[in-house]
Amino acid sequence: MIKKKVTIKNDAGLHARPASALVKLASKFESDFYIHMYGYKVNGKSILGVMTLAAEKGAELELELDGPDEQEAVESIVELIDSGFGEVYKNENE
Amino acid sequence: MSSESNKHEFILSGTPGSPGIVIGKTSLYRRNRPIVSNVRIDEEGIRKQIADFHEARTRAEKELKQMLDAQSDGSAEELIQTQIEMINDPDLCNRVEEEISEHNQHADSAIQKVFEQYLDMIKQNHEEMFHERSVDIADTRDRLIQILHNHEADEVKQGTILVARELSPREVIEFSDRNIKGIIVDRGGTTSHAAIIARAMNIPMIVGLKNVTKILAADKQVILDGQTGKVIINPGESTLEQYKDLIAQQVQAETNFQAICEQPNTTLDGKSFILRANIEFAEELSMVQKYRAEGIGLLRTESVYLRQEHFGGQKKQQSLYRSVAEVINPQPVIIRLFDAGGDKFFSGSKKEQNPFLGWRGIRMLLDNEGLLKDQLRAILKTAAHIQGCIRILVPMISTIDQLLRVKELMNLVQQELTDSGLEVDDHVQLGIMIEVPNVALQADFFAQHADFLSIGTNDLTQYVLAVDRGNERISTLYDQRHPAIWQLINQVAEAGRGNNIPVSVCGELAADPISACCLMGMGIDELSMSPTVLPTVKQQLRSNTLSDMKELSNKVLASNTVEEINQLFMNWNTTETKTKN
């Protein structure tokens, strides 16, 4: 099992679109994936779980991975979060 | 005998939501209400409930995929995509299955409970943003439960009268496919979106019956009188006969309406007038065309924004404006800028003590120029594509600076569109709503800076008479026929003439046939109203002469009380009918 702390960097936080990207990526791996935040623990392969965390920019998460491909999984997930989900956020009204 | 006494005739009174009289059997419709059953379901039941849950998911997914195919807007696509992911969420599936099998629950209550857990968590973490964060999740829940209910027992039968607590516009449209005869709801008012759609689709409706869903059972025979707002339950033979006659008359009237609409818009002595329609949804266009309105005098834009908040506002707006303009062009489409209070747009904004005197209409828009410019952009882009028909109406103007600022922003957006290579419509007119009393009093001044004036009598009346039109206790004080209102209207009409700009009336006053004649008498020959009342008003205008209307308006202007005016109107109507006979 691997545990790893990360900070949300993108402005929108873990809202719908980034949450969806995270879940999609995590679901590619066999390992179980949980996210700890505010003392909560949610399934990182569950869009509803991730959305209910609704982590804002600056929020600290602890990722927990457990399974055969945990190393590879944690690297990919951290990369996605650190890249701010690779999204350039436009004006909300656009 | 005792069963007969259960069947005695009785009447419930509500508010007419959409006109028309129908007789039929009731169907009950419940939305988002899980059937909380204490009956423990057995093993067989568990399997069935789990199967039902997955079937509901499959159906919801199919629906969403269809929506996705019909969708060209990027952010809408993403939102639908996210909902599809929610429906296929493995965690959701596990939890619901667990809830069903371990607590012997029905699928709908299991869904309700599991979503409650998700929503509670958001609430705890993000109370201030709860609504914004949870709306898509709640919508997914509602959709699943709704599908389950329709699936479990399709209580709404073809050709029945639908009884519900409340309905969304989408539900009205959905049920109209089942040829429902009429709608009766506990909640809602005449101006609720569902009522507007019901009128547009010609489905008689009664709103505000408070607890009709508790009183009325399914399969009861009722008469729904959309004219008076009455629901007659278990009607006796004589009542039925009476209403069958009324229905026959109604059918005749509808035929007459068609004939009237084909006649030219002229008074008995040949003076022409313009009748336009107030609408809010593209679904209302069929009515507009049927009754031959000469354009849209008021296109309300609040709902498109409020309902589509999460769908990338501008493109959705544009598609409404465009679909209306395409049908109505070359006749004018007058688009009113968002006319809502700030609380409708910003979930965090404070509740106001006097919202009608508060941060609404142009006051709110000018504090949020991004929002305003987005709307102007959507309107002006539409105008560039369909040139010559679009006009812009600014609500809640109370200072000249507000109008000048909108003009500046409009020019800015036009320039921006020109720079992006669009050939803009240089003649988009900018008009103002006259609803704040100081503007009516200073109409001549404001008219110098506006391309047209539109009198909104609904709000003008409540401001002039200091009567909240939603407050039932003082509702008798609210009367648009009040002499002070007529005097202000006359003043505005003169200001329009003096500055050579058109003046129209788009409030309920215009929909009152004799008041419409009186407005004509004051020189206001452009009236806009709900499409359903167009034939009635037209008939009244066509069967009188302009000189009689002028005489009427002079008498009205010399009146001191509403009673005097009502008297004048009553007598005027009868003498006219007499001379005709």
Closest Cα to residue B12, out of B193, B245, B238, B185? B185
A59 or B526: whose pLDDT is higher?
B526
Which pLDDT value is given to residue B132? 60
CB of B313 less than 8 A from some CB of A: yes
Give me the pLDDT at residue B251, please: 87
Q: What is the dihedral of CA B10, B15, B17, B19, to 10 degrees?
A: 60
Domain B257-580 has CATH 3.90.1150.200: no
Q: What is the mean pLDDT of chain B?
A: 86
B312–A contact, CB cutoff 8 A: yes
| B2 band by pLDDT with thresholds 50, 70 and 90 | very low
Distance, CA of B432 to CA of B336 (rounded, Å): 9
Helix then strand count (H, E) for chain B reads 24, 16
Q: How confident is the model at residue B313 (pLDDT cuts 50, 70, 90)?
A: low
Whole-number pLDDT of residue B310: 37
**Residue B225 three-state SS:** strand
The yes-or-no verdict on residue B199 having pLDDT over 60 is yes
Asked whether the beta carbons of residue B82 and residue A16 sit closer than 8 angstroms, the reply is yes
Nearest to A16 among B79, B90, B312 (CB): B79
The span from the CA of B456 to the CA of B508, in Å, is 8
Task: Tell me the H-state helices in A5-46.
Answer: 16-27
- Chain A hits for B133, CB-CB cut-off 8 Å, are 15, 51, 54
Q: What is the mean pLDDT of residues B19-47?
A: 77
Interface test with A, best of B77, B80, B86 (most A CBs within 10 A): B86
How far from chain centre, in Å, is Cα B157? Answer: 26
Contacts of B277 (CB under 8 A, 6+ apart): B284, B287, B288, B291, B293, B295, B296, B297, B298, B528, B529, B530, B531, B534
Q: Tell whether the model's pLDDT for residue B210 goes beyond 90.
A: no
Contacts of A26 in chain B (CB under 8 A): none
Nearest CA in chain A to B125: A53
Q: How far apart are CA B227 and CA B230, in angstroms?
A: 8
Cα of B111 to nearest chain A Cα, Å: 13
In the predicted model, is pLDDT for residue B579 greater than 50? no
Window B:344-373, CB contacts with A under 8 Å? 370-371
Q: For B291-308, write each residue's pLDDT tens digit.
A: 999 999 999 988 766 554
- CA dist., res. B76 & res. B168, Å (int): 20
Our CA-based measurement puts residue A39 at a distance from the nearest CA of chain B, in whole angstroms, of: 11
For B90, the closest of A20, A45, A51 (CB atoms) is A45
Torsion of CA B382, B385, B387, B392, to 10 degrees: 10
Which among A20, A53, A91 is the nearest to B81, CB-wise?
A: A20
The conformational region for residue B419 under phi > 0 = left, psi -120 to 50 = alpha, else beta, is alpha
B118 vs A52: CB contact, 8 Å cut-off?
yes
What does the pLDDT look like over B123-179, one tens digit per residue?
877 666 665 667 678 778 888 888 887 644 456 888 899 999 887 766 776 677 778
pLDDT on residue B152: 45
Q: pTM of the full predicted structure?
A: 0.64
The minimal CB distance from A46 to the residues B91, B125, B129 is found for B91
Q: Of all residues in chain B, what percent carry a pLDDT higher than 70?
A: 86
- The nearest alpha carbon in chain B to A33 belongs to B91
- With CA atoms as reference, the chain A residue closest to B368 would be A93
Q: Per the CB < 8 Å rule, is B129 touching A54?
A: yes
B314 touches chain A (CB under 8 A): yes
- On whether any CB of chain A is under 8 Å from the CB of B399, the answer is no
CA dist., res. B88 & res. B82, Å (int): 10
CA–CA separation, B316 and B470 (whole Å): 30
User: Omega of the bond prior to B330 within 30 degrees of 0, cis?
Assistant: yes
A 12-71 residues with CB < 8 A to B:
15-17, 19-20, 23-24, 38, 40, 42-43, 45-49, 51-54
pLDDT value at residue B493: 98
Residue B42 pLDDT > 90, yes or no?
A: no
Confidence category of residue A13, pLDDT binned at 50, 70, 90 = confident
| Residue A6 to chain B, least CA–CA distance (Å) | 19
CATH level 3 topology of B43-151:
Enzyme I; Chain A, domain 2 (1.10.274)
For residue B295, give the 3-state DSSP assignment. coil
Domain locations along chain B: 8-30+155-250, 43-151, 257-580
Pick the catalytic residue from A2, A4, A13, A15: A15
Helix H segments across B272-399?
285-290, 302-308, 313-328, 362-367, 369-385
Rounded average pLDDT over B473-484: 90
Q: Between residues A32 and B345, which one has the greater pLDDT?
A: A32
Query: Is residue B180 predicted with pLDDT exceeding 80?
Result: yes
Class of B8-30+155-250 per CATH? alpha beta
Residue of B nearest to A56 (CA): B126
Of B508, B363, B393, the C-alpha closest to B453 is B393
Contacts of A51 in chain B (CB under 8 A): 86, 118, 122, 133, 136-137
Residue A51 has its nearest CB partner, among B79, B137, B370, at: B137
Angle at which helix B562-580 crosses helix B483-498, to 10 degrees, equals 70
Distance from the Cα of A47 to chain B's closest Cα (Å) equals 6
Is the pLDDT at B105 greater than 90? The verdict is no
- Residue B1: the pLDDT is 37
Task: Measure the CA–CA gap between B465 and B35, rounded to whole angstroms.
Answer: 48
Q: Which of chain B's residues have a Cβ under 8 Å away from the Cβ of A52?
A: 118-119, 121-122, 125, 137
Per-residue pLDDT, B153: 46
pLDDT per residue over B234-278, tens digit each?
999 999 999 999 999 988 888 888 899 999 999 999 999 999 999
Cβ within 8 Å, pair A23-B85: yes
Tokens of residue B405, six digits: 């600022």
> Which domains occur in chain A, in start order?
2-84 (3.30.1340.10)
Q: Report the side by side order of strands in the sheet with B221-225.
A: B10-13, B230-233, B221-225, B21-29, B161-164, B182-185, B205-207, B15-18
Q: Tell me which chain A residues have a C-beta less than 8 angstroms from the C-beta of B313.
A: 93
Contact B390, B321 (CB under 8 A): yes
- Measured between beta carbons, the chain A residues lying within 8 angstroms of B314 are 93-94
ipTM over 0.90? The verdict is: no
At residue B45, does pLDDT exceed 90? no
In sequence order, the β-bridge partners of residue B512 are: none
What pLDDT was estimated at residue B206? Answer: 94
SS3 at position B275: strand
Q: Do residues B495 and B443 make contact, with C-beta atoms less than 8 angstroms apart?
A: yes
Q: Would the CB atoms of A48 and B86 count as touching at under 8 Å?
A: yes
Catalytic site includes residue A15: yes
